Chain A
Amino acid sequence: MKKEQRQPPRRTFLKQSGILLATFNLFNAGATAQVTPSTLPGSLSNNPSLDGWIRIQSNERILIFTGKCELGQGILTAIAQMAADELDVAYERIDIVSADTSLTPDEGMTAGSQSVEYGGIAVRYACAEARSLLLAAAAQKLNTTTDLLKVTNGVITNGQSQVTYWELSPQINLKRKANASAKPKPASEHRIMGQSIARRDLPAKLTGQAIYIQDLRLPEMVFGRVIRPPSYRAKLESLDESSVKNMPGVLAVVRDGNFLAVAAKREEQAIKAAKALRALATWSQSPDLPPSGDALFAHMKSQPSEDSVIKTVQSPNTPKNTKQFQAEYTRPFQAHASIGPSCAVAQYKAGQYTVWTHTQGVFPLRNDLAKVLRTPIENITCVHTQGPGCYGHNGMDDVACDAALLSRATQGRPVQIQWMREDEFAWEPYGSAMAIQMKAQIDDNNTIVAWHHETWSHPHSTRPMTDPSGSFLLAGWHLDNPVPIGKTKNSPQPAGSADRNAVPLYDFANQKILLHYLPKMPLRTSALRTLGAYANVFALESFIDELAIATNEDPIAFRLKHLKNPRARALIEWVADKAKWQPNKNPKLKNHGRGFAFAQYKNLACYCAIVADVEVFPQTGQVKVHEVICGVDAGLVINPDGLINQIEGGIIQSSSWTLKEQVRFDAQKITTHTWADYPILTFKEVPKIQVHLLHRPEEKSLGVGEGSQGPTVAAIANALAHATGKRFRNLPFSPEKIKMVLAS
């Protein structure tokens, strides 16, 4: 039954990519997800069964299963490249099934710039092992030894006779636990990895083929909308919905506590009905939001916090005769602001839910849906379907929950909900506002001898499965019998979350890194690309720049003086050269400036160094970022153009956050509703960008999706200081803030 109702649309989608589904057996990846910890690489450790990753198909194609999903970052193309190379088959023979709770491995979230590092490496090991099993079978068949065999596009030969993967596949059993005995190929043997293969999803996206969740049109499908409260904690006091039930096309009005939704035959009918319900409903609400603007940060510091020492380094010699410096940096609440509001389709039939979703984690979402729907996870299937880009946690999971709740009222008919623009702006969880206090001591040799970094921040992850005792799905909080809000926690170092990249890569003799974690969320917050790293790198890399200027040292030379990490040094020197950096050079033109910044994302992923050239217009307070020159060391690069696209996108997104973005709110409610309230960088404003890749094919692949955002903000801030002689420490660098600082 479950298979029946889920498969038709899935088939339609897969058919378009020529994928053969005939040999599928449903298997429960969840059953293998809880095995005892092993030393298997990447996501193989939790999903060790080889047939969970790879099928050799009778149609002479290879089917790869991945728990990671396409967000626009090109991961499915990169994974197909890895599989093709490890298996010695043409790239065109690889098909992929991604992120489906009934089909693919459980790889948790697609997040943290980890998909190549963890998901990719698992595919590489699984394919290498499958290849070795096929070679062993071939050796037996051809009466030879494996070392005398060669594989070309799935054809195995010993020079005289040959046999193919497709002929051998019935003889090998992939229903076995991976042992990682066959090692992935060294870089010297890569043919497809390392090439800029075109994205496999783009032809469909650029010609209007059905590929997005919004394009899923199931038989009998109806449309829904949710009527959210006017503010976070508002209560629905009264509503007479009878007139709306009689509106054209309306099929159902669902009212459960403060959760209010409507389903109608046509989408525009659902929108009209939702508007009518909004006008009829009366809510009680109180002014319970924190102050906005500059007052926010003092307020945050006054709130109850969970304090922790992230790192201390204490040298035996107490620094003497030092000069003391300090500065404070802030970042407002910022939105994901996806171009497409969140969307989901759900169907409820015979006790079974099927939810099509652009979540970044189908398995975690299923887990939290089970709490809100109050049904075992076995009754829920979540199928990833591509959606508009977001790079973080926006309304994607919430809308899936909305659709699932509404699907109970549509008599088995599937229901699609897309949030309205104002729903997304008002209800998505934002990137948290942050305040960062920096202090340092510098000795007579202009060396930083003590470094103090102190961060105040709300949570950076409230994704599904954050806490077993509660849920963060919005509708769950609004039900008459609510699912309690979960408890958040900060992720531990070295990755961290609020404290991500708060620990410097520099070798300061004394260090103290503190976090004041504010678990309460007056505004809803969760993972926005880079989590706390954007603001922490802004503070760290601005402050070290301030110290360089204060001691009359060149900012790049000053950084290198404190930095031993050889890869970081090599990259910084390389980028300085690419940008023709001139030490201690005053700006050539009035109001122009050049700034530098560096970070290794999470101190674990790619190394990224950035030089930004900016111009300030003092009369208007406008800032133009003319050009950004960027260097990246990401170890082995699977797809250079894909990587460059990620880095470029990160630079533009970060420039936009830096120059323009802040969520607006008053004492009671969010007041950001449309793009007019939340402008982002436009075509006329984006900088020119150069990205240089420092290839290190012998090193392991390092994630890049979040590599450039931190260095970009700090490079812009440092360039502004270079241009004006003033420091800009409060984001965003809007015209009002620029004028205020220039006047100070």
Chain B
Amino acid sequence: MPQYKIHVNGAFHDVQTESDTPILYVLRNDLALNGPKYGCGVAQCGACTILVDGRATRSCVTPISAIGKKKMTTLEGLGNPDHLDPLQKAFLDEQAAQCGYCSNGMIITAKALLNKNPHPSETEIRQALNAHLCRCGTHNRVIRAVQRAAGRLNEGLVK
């Protein structure tokens, strides 16, 4: 099996797998990362989303061979319970989850959105998250969380 050196959450990792292996399984099973999750396998639900060079990317349809030297960031790379990313903090403040299985993709996509557009309107947030599915019905809380995080980011910029 071919060898790959991949860059995830600030560090390099060596993995050995077939070239068509979706990066989702490498992140979850070789690197023991829990953020990206299997939901549909065909890029319809968004649960598996990661950042690849800052772009929100569906890891379930991205083979490891397509990654090359690009830098990947997963939910774990944003923050942990002791050092939360502003988006993770905002999701907690808004209690913007029930089962939480889809939260990974929403936080990651919101991160990509805020990096590009720190002042998104509610419509822009809904548009950005529209291809992320949530079954528990926490959509409005998620919108508020992203707005809250955007407010915080904006405050940060003012300082």
A-to-B contact residues, CB < 8 Å = 71-74, 196, 198-199, 201-212, 214-215, 217, 223, 248, 266-268, 336-341, 386-391, 418, 420-421, 641-642, 645-646, 648-653, 656, 674-676, 680-684, 686, 688-689
Contact = CB atoms under 8 A, between A and B. Distances in A.
Given A680-B133, A689-B140, 13 more contacts: A205-B97, A206-B75, A208-B33, A208-B34, A208-B74, A214-B28, A215-B34, A339-B99, A341-B39, A386-B99, A389-B101, A675-B44, A683-B127
Given A339-B47, A684-B126, A199 B95 contact: yes
Nearest to A336: B135
A418 B25 CA distance: 12
A268 B25 contact: yes
Residues of B in contact with A, size category? 35 or more
22 contacts: A72-B98, A204-B81, A206-B97, A206-B100, A207-B81, A209-B81, A266-B17, A266-B21, A268-B21, A336-B135, A337-B135, A339-B45, A386-B99, A390-B135, A418-B38, A645-B138, A652-B137, A656-B137, A681-B139, A682-B131, A684-B126, A689-B140
A683 B75 contact: no
A480 to B, nearest CB: 30
Contacts of B44: 674-676
Given A674-B40, A683-B129, A210 B95 contact: no
Contacts of A341: 38-39
Contacts of A196: 95
B141 interface: yes
B98 A73 contact: yes
B136 interface: yes
B137 A653 contact: yes
A686 B141 CA distance: 11
Nearest to B126: A683
Contacts of B142: 683
Contact of A202 (B41, B95, B126): B95
B66 interface: no
A294 B50 CA distance: 43
Given A201-B100, A649-B136, A207 B130 contact: no
B21, B84, B129, B132 — most chain A CB neighbours (10 Å) = B21
A682 B98 CA distance: 16
A570 B41 CA distance: 49
Contacts of B138: 645, 648-649
Contacts of A390: 99, 135
A217 B32 contact: yes
Contact of A206 (B45, B88, B132): B88
Contacts of A71: 99
Nearest to B134: A339
User: What are the nearest 3 A-B pairs in CB distance?
Assistant: A389-B99, A652-B137, A72-B99
A206 B33 contact: no
Contact of A645 (B28, B34, B95): B95
B139 A683 contact: yes
B65 to A, nearest CB: 13
A645 B81 contact: no
A136 to B, nearest CB: 39
B42 A674 contact: yes
B47 to A, nearest CB: 6
Contacts of B78: 207
Contacts of B21: 266, 268
B35 interface: yes
Interface of B: 1, 17-18, 21-22, 25, 28-29, 32-35, 37-42, 44-45, 47, 74-76, 78-81, 84, 88, 91-92, 95, 97-104, 107, 125-127, 129-143
Most chain A C-beta atoms within 10 Å of own C-beta, residue among B29, B33, B74 = B29
A106 B21 CA distance: 42
Contacts of B103: 205-206
Given A206-B100, A206-B107, A645-B141, A340 B81 contact: no
A204 B98 CA distance: 13
Contacts of B104: 208
Given A201-B100, A389-B99, A420-B41, A648 B140 contact: yes
Contact of A338 (B28, B127, B135, B137): B135
Nearest to A221: B29
A228 to B, nearest CB: 16
A214 B34 CA distance: 8
Contacts of A418: 38
A420 B107 CA distance: 24
Contact of A340 (B37, B74, B137): B37
Given A268-B22, A652-B137, A675-B44, A683 B130 contact: yes
Given A209-B34, A641-B95, A674-B42, A682 B102 contact: no
A198 B81 CA distance: 14
Contact of B76 (A208, A211, A676): A208
Contacts of A680: 133, 135
A199 B37 CA distance: 21
B152 to A, nearest CB: 16
B42 to A, nearest CB: 6
Contacts of A674: 40, 42, 44
A662 B22 CA distance: 31
A686 B138 CA distance: 10
B45 A210 contact: no
B34 A210 contact: yes
A424 B125 CA distance: 30
Given A648-B138, A652-B137, A684-B127, A205 B17 contact: no
A207 B135 contact: no
A321 B44 CA distance: 58
A605 to B, nearest CB: 18
A680 B132 CA distance: 11
Contact of A686 (B17, B22, B139): B139
Contacts of B74: 208
A268 B38 CA distance: 12
A500 B81 CA distance: 42
B97 A202 contact: yes
A649 B32 CA distance: 31
A688 B144 CA distance: 12
A650 B137 contact: yes
Contacts of B100: 72, 201-202, 205-206
